[in-house]
A and B are shown apart, each in its own frame.
Chain A
Amino acid sequence: MKKNKILLTILSITMFFTSLTLVACGGNNEGNPYQDFQNSLTTYLADATLFKDGTTAIGSIETNFYFNNFNYKNSEGKIEGDKNYLVLNAYGMNYIQDYSAYLENLEGNYNYSNLQNSLNKLNESFEKIKIESKNIYNADTNANIDIYNGFYANYLDEAKNFINAVYDTAINISNFLIEDVNVLEGFGTDKQTIEQTQFCLDTQVLYVFDDIRKLLLESGEGKQFIGENLYDGAVANLSYFANISTKNVNLLTAEMADELLEKAELLEGERVYLNKALESFSLYEYVEVYESSIESYQKDESNAFAYYTELQKYYSDSNNFLYQYQNFLSLNIYE
């Protein structure tokens, strides 16, 4: 009898905690961050110093999120800063703006915690870059180069962090829409829609931009290494993908949609090994510390050559995967 009581108590406690866990892990439609996204975007755009007023084109990408005062000084005056930051930020913010709108009126129980967390971090980063943006805005244009560029260095750091947070948020949105909301259901069949095609392509370009962001802003620490093969290859690919991303998309045949998905899956598979290489290879150190000598790098990191080769295959070799992929998209998918 005593034993039964103990067993029953244990069972009850277990069931209680299980149900608590289920409730915690389960979704509920409360906390849909749609309005939070709208508020954040409105706040970002309202900041007079951070983003230029209205729509600005950077290459073929038009955006409301063009970094203002993104320049530094040299003896000739103010020079526009690294365009890669501008392009990466523009595309990522555009994606957030377009696809956070899908959250409006979403029916069903969803777990929004990842979305909310990434948006919170994005907002935190925004607050920091806002300060640095104001600092550089306020910096006297007649101030000597060192003072001006001192402010610019801080601004660039926060811009890098902001862009990293942008991509974290954008990718969380894409994962949420694909895995939780299942927006691509029916894609690859006769029931597929042009909106699905657009979403699929925009998301593929987002992931590619994220791959390039990882190389330029993380592995390369946001520095420009013009003339460095790996850097130049990644930047060239950024330009190719930026260019095709603004083209019109036709409704695809089911077979072409299948082929698109197959290529996307291969890129996703390759990304696993790309990330392994990116984790262990620093483009910044390769150039600055080892003076672009892979043999020197190899003395400190015995697998440097293997990592470097993988990165070249992905970003910069003559048959690099990104170039082949954008060529496939350009010839078969976009108008």
Chain B
Amino acid sequence: MAKAKTEGKSNKSSGTKKLVTIIGVLAFIAIIVVIIVLSIPANTYGAVERLNEASQSSFLENESEKTRYEKSETKIAGSTKNYYNQEVQDIKVLSGSINKILDYYNEYLILADDNKVFSKNYKIIKNNLEDANTYQDEMNNYLIELNNLNDNSDSHLQYLWIDFRQTFSTYLSSITSAIDALNNCYQGCFNNTFTNNLSSTNILNTVDDFLIVISNEFNTLVETDLKNYTQKDYNYQSHGKIILLDNFVNNYIVNDGEITRYYFDESLQTKYNKINSFYQTYNLTNFTTVIESIEDDGKISLTFQQQDTDGIYSTVKEFLGEM
């Protein structure tokens, strides 16, 4: 009896040991798997490839797309909906600016450090550029339909233009999100380089601010200019902002001298310290309220109550390219 009891105890004890061993081994394997999974770098190269494609094929980058768009432009100009002309022309300008911005980031992304900032942003870049590409196809389909309109009904023309605008607005939203994420990578994935400095921070953040404002205004236009509405309901306000953005991109992105020379040019350091002091002085985190006040003639209408004794706001207005 005693022996049976002992044997029973021994069996239980050996069974428990086996269970503990199995659990221990499983836990060890689980830890190894977690370590391996965490160690595998995120598939960030997809974002690089996508940006590469986007910068070469963004809206109105290729000639056939441009020709198609200009045909639509001519058709609208010859219709009773020619009050859309400025908007149509500005979309061309805006698309050109977007392409230059994507080109700029395309020169950097492949070299970026594959760190936490990259991991956090590469999917935003990739997914938004892919979405933008889909919307671009839809936009082109609307343009083809518009160009093929046989009837003299300007209503149909208006419907197609409004459909185009709605899709363009969504395209612009996606592009804006992608560019914002690209900016995050630029600032967060290049450690201690000549081209990641206070000037580049201010310039690229300002590009983001411009795009956010313009994108919001197109969203508003989508909501306010509906099918069968007339000119009296049409309130397009982005002309000045698009022109200033285009100038800004040419002056600071295409010609990136103020970024590349920053660390060797004290006058640039002074300039950007001044621009950067705007936020604290006027208790703002970005330039969007300033940009929102840009009028069609390129003038900035926003004023502040406090006096600009140090010339900070005037420096900012000059930086934004006020006409």
A interface, CB within 8 angstroms of B: 263, 265-270, 272-273, 276-277, 302-303, 305-307, 309-310, 313, 317, 319, 321, 324-325, 327-328
Contact = CB atoms under 8 A, between A and B. Distances in A.
B192 A268 contact: yes
A175 to B, nearest CB: 18
A268 B194 CA distance: 10
B264 A327 contact: yes
Nearest to B196: A269
Nearest to A302: B52
Given A306-B106, A319-B257, A319-B261, A270 B111 contact: no
Contact of A306 (B110, B192, B193): B110
B198 to A, nearest CB: 13
Given A265-B192, A313-B195, 15 more contacts: A266-B263, A267-B194, A269-B192, A269-B194, A270-B193, A273-B190, A305-B106, A306-B110, A306-B111, A313-B194, A317-B260, A319-B257, A321-B260, A324-B260, A324-B264
Interface in B208-263: 257, 260-261, 263
A37 B111 CA distance: 38
Q: Identify the interface centre among A272, A273, A302, A307: most chain B CB within 10 Å of its CB.
A: A273
Contacts of A265: 192
A305 B111 contact: no
A280 B192 CA distance: 22
A324 B48 contact: no
Q: Identify the interface centre among B107, B190, B191: most chain A CB within 10 Å of its CB.
A: B107
Contacts of B257: 319
Contacts of B260: 313, 317, 319, 321, 324
16 contacts: A266-B193, A266-B194, A267-B194, A268-B192, A269-B192, A269-B193, A270-B193, A270-B195, A273-B193, A276-B111, A306-B106, A306-B109, A317-B260, A319-B261, A324-B264, A327-B264
A319 B111 CA distance: 20
Contacts of B106: 305-306
A208 to B, nearest CB: 14
Contacts of B111: 273, 276-277, 306-307, 310
B192 A303 contact: no
A273 B186 CA distance: 13
Interface in B68-117: 106-111
A273 B108 CA distance: 9
A276 to B, nearest CB: 5
Contacts of B194: 266-267, 269-270, 313, 321
Nearest to A303: B110
A307 B194 CA distance: 16
A317 to B, nearest CB: 7
Nearest to A324: B264
A268 B108 CA distance: 17
B308 interface: no
Nearest to B261: A319
A34 to B, nearest CB: 34
Contact of B191 (A272, A303, A317): A272
Contacts of B110: 276, 303, 306-307
A306 B49 contact: no
A266 B107 contact: no
A155 to B, nearest CB: 36
Given A276-B111, A310-B107, A263 B263 contact: yes
Interface in B131-171: none
Given A317-B260, A321-B260, A327-B264, A309 B191 contact: no
Contacts of A327: 264
A325 B260 CA distance: 12
A127 B52 CA distance: 47
Given A276-B111, A277-B111, A319-B257, A266 B192 contact: yes
Contacts of A310: 107, 111
A302 B53 CA distance: 9
Contacts of B193: 266, 269-270, 272-273
B154 to A, nearest CB: 43
Contacts of A269: 191-194
A307 B108 CA distance: 9
A93 to B, nearest CB: 30
Contacts of B190: 273
Contacts of B261: 319, 324
A145 B132 CA distance: 61
Contacts of A324: 260-261, 263-264
B189 to A, nearest CB: 10
A177 to B, nearest CB: 22
A313 B107 CA distance: 11
Contacts of A317: 260
Contacts of A319: 257, 260-261
A303 B52 contact: yes
B264 A306 contact: no
Contacts of A270: 192-195
Q: Identify the interface centre among B48, B49, B193, B257: most chain A CB within 10 Å of its CB.
A: B193
Contacts of B49: 302
A313 B256 CA distance: 10
| Closest CB pairs A-B (n = 10) | A269-B192, A303-B110, A309-B107, A324-B264, A273-B111, A319-B260, A306-B110, A270-B193, A306-B107, A269-B193
B56 to A, nearest CB: 9
A269 B194 CA distance: 8
A233 B51 CA distance: 29
Interface in B3-41: none
A319 B264 CA distance: 10
Contacts of B107: 305-306, 309-310
